[in-house]
């Protein structure tokens, strides 16, 4: 079997490893290809020098190289319709069609879907650059903080929390006059600020049936204790099951996942692939936990994927293929009885300005259940060393069969062996898990 992975970050490294380790892959004398490979992927994937956004070139490559199955990592190729193009030509691919990927690429579409199918989410109103006056009137009567979200894709930066009216007005100016997110911010929503704790859930679906992977928790803020600027994610752990009880689990499946898949199908946008559900769990009186959808993404999350996928014991490649072939109902998910922690090693200064081309030392780690997935890395010019090449540089992942605390400690122990100039990492990944345990 020939498999092509589109994308080349930490998430795609983790996807590649899980495919590579699948029995169905090993059995069939298979080959893995990955777009614009990086030093982490090169050991198991043949690099393909095509960008994830060059859909026609990828299509040609897949046809010429007789690729059997393509797996799409990032959202942009999905929002550009890569899955539609591949399927039109009879090629098998993992990921939703363009109209289904709108669940991520248009926040307004996603919110209206949730409203129509009564899926719990923050109360909201939609506005555009054409009705700023109404938006301001709405903001004058709003309870603060409010959340303002650009409708379109904005590289994970399109959500802004405003603490008062004047901050909120500035955000509207940035979106519609300064166009900080280009056309993505000309339409926007204003929504109620929810409180609670966040969880991430990946659901692998063929549009009708689904398999829910272990819950995980991301750490989006740059600073310890969830402070400072939002980032792409500074670390994650899984399973986050200790954070939920069976009642909440059932609510999430019956009141969120199932109506979403049903709604998408009814709207003529049958959803195939990985549905990423970003949840806020609010705690009400008497300890009642209520889940709300913060966002949907049309893909796996980064860095949650790096923590979740190593926990999957059953054949991962078969799961992805079952999504495309619409046979999910026959798939039995098995997971390891282990705990996983992922810590991101970032360039100092990220998510603002940072330097690159720093030599990375200590990468020769060869331990069972420890993985170092590459994101922003590249080979040095003479090919002998590995250099930093981005904000988020590496994902260090460790598993442990006894406790989450041991997984966390093992992860930090490994991270301590790696070094590059101005390396930054959050030192408290998993802190909410530990707090929960102490209670």
Residue nearest to ligand GLY (CB): 301
String of DSSP letters for 246-260: HHHHHHIIIIIIHHH
Say if strands 159-162 and 377-379 run parallel, antiparallel, or are unpaired. Answer: unpaired
- Residue 308 is given by DSSP the state H
| Long-range contacts, stretch 382-387, CB < 8 angstroms, 24+ apart | 385/359, 385/360, 386/39, 386/359, 386/360, 387/356, 387/357, 387/358, 387/359, 387/360
Nearer to ligand AMP, 230 or 405 (CB): 230
Rounded to a whole number of angstroms, the minimum distance from the CB of residue 232 to ligand GLY is 6
Contacts of ligand GLY in 228-267 (CB under 6 A): 233
Nearer to ligand AMP, 206 or 295 (CB): 295
Residue 233 interface partner, choices ligand AMP, ligand GLY, none, CB cut-off 5-8 Å depending on type: ligand GLY
Rounded to a whole number of angstroms, the minimum distance from the CB of residue 153 to ligand GLY is 11
Residue 346: helix, strand or coil by DSSP? strand
Rounded to a whole number of angstroms, the minimum distance from the CB of residue 274 to ligand AMP is 16
Residue 304 interface partner, choices ligand GLY, ligand AMP, none, CB cut-off 5-8 Å depending on type: ligand GLY
The DSSP H or E segment spanning 388 is strand 386-388
13/104 Cα distance (integer angstroms): 22
For residue 351, say if its preceding peptide bond is cis, omega within 30 degrees of 0. Answer: yes
Residues that bind ligand AMP (CB under 6 A): 122, 147, 156, 159, 191, 193-194, 198, 220, 230, 278, 294-295
Contacts of ligand GLY in 283-312 (CB under 6 A): 297, 301-302, 304
Rounded to a whole number of angstroms, the minimum distance from the CB of residue 233 to ligand GLY is 4
String of DSSP letters for 90-130: T--EES--HHHHHHHH-HHHHHHHHHHTT--B--EEEEEGG
| 311 contacts 404 by C-beta, under 8 angstroms | no
Nearer to ligand GLY, 191 or 218 (CB): 218
Rounded to a whole number of angstroms, the minimum distance from the CB of residue 218 to ligand GLY is 4
Rounded to a whole number of angstroms, the minimum distance from the CB of residue 288 to ligand AMP is 19
Nearer to ligand GLY, 207 or 233 (CB): 233
| 167 contacts 243 by C-beta, under 8 angstroms | no
Encoded tokens for 308:
């979740």
Nearer to ligand AMP, 47 or 156 (CB): 156
Rounded to a whole number of angstroms, the minimum distance from the CB of residue 218 to ligand AMP is 7
Residue 348 interface partner, choices ligand GLY, ligand AMP, none, CB cut-off 5-8 Å depending on type: none
Please report, as ranges, the residues that interact with ligand GLY according to CB under 6 A.
Answer: 156, 218, 233, 297, 301-302, 304
């Amino acid at each position: 079997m020939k498999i092509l992975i589109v994308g080349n970050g930490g998430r795609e490294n983790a996807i590649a490893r899980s495919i590579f380790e699948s029995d169905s892959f090993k059995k069939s004398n298979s080959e893995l290809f990955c777009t614009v490979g990086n030093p982490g992927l090169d050991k198991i994937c043949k690099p393909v020098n095509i960008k994830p956004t060059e859909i026609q070139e990828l299509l040609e490559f897949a046809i010429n190289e007789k690729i059997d199955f393509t797996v799409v990592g990032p959202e942009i190729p999905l929002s550009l319709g890569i899955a539609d193009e591949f399927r039109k030509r009879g090629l098998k691919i993992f990921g939703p069609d363009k109209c289904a990927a709108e669940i991520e690429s248009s926040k307004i579409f996603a919110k209206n879907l949730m409203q129509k199918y009564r899926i719990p989410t923050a109360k909201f109103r939609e506005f555009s650059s054409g009705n700023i006056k109404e938006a301001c009137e709405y903001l004058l009567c709003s309870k603060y903080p409010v959340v303002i979200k650009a409708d379109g894709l904005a590289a994970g930066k399109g959500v802004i929390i405003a603490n008062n009216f004047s901050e909120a007005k500035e955000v509207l100016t940035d979106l519609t006059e300064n166009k900080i997110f280009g056309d993505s911010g000309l339409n926007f929503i204003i929504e109620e600020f929810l409180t609670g704790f966040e969880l991430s859930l990946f659901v692998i679906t063929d549009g009708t049936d689904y398999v829910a992977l272990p819950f995980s928790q991301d750490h989006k803020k740059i600073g310890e204790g969830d402070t400072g600027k939002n980032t792409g994610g500074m670390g994650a752990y899984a399973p986050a099951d200790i954070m939920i009880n069976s009642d909440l689990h059932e609510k999430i499946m019956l009141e969120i996942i199932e109506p979403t898949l049903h709604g998408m199908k009814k709207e003529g946008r049958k959803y195939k692939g990985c549905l990423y559900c970003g949840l806020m769990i609010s705690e009400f009186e008497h300890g009642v936990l209520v889940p709300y959808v913060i966002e949907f993404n049309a893909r796996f999350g980064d860095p949650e994927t790096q923590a979740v996928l190593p926990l999957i014991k059953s054949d991962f490649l078969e799961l992805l293929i079952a999504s495309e072939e619409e046979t999910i109902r026959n798939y039995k998910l098995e997971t390891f009885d282990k705990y996983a922690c992922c810590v991101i090693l970032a360039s100092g200064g990220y998510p603002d300005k940072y330097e690159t081309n720093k030599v990375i030392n200590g990468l020769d780690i060869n331990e069972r259940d420890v993985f170092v997935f590459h994101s922003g890395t590249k080979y040095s010019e003479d090919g002998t060393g590995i250099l930093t090449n981005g904000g988020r540089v590496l994902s260090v992942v460790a598993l442990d069969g006894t406790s989450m605390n041991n997984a966390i400690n093992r992860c930090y122990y490994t991270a301590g062996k790696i070094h590059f100039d101005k390396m930054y990492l959050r030192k408290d990944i998993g802190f909410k898990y530990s707090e929960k345990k102490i209670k």
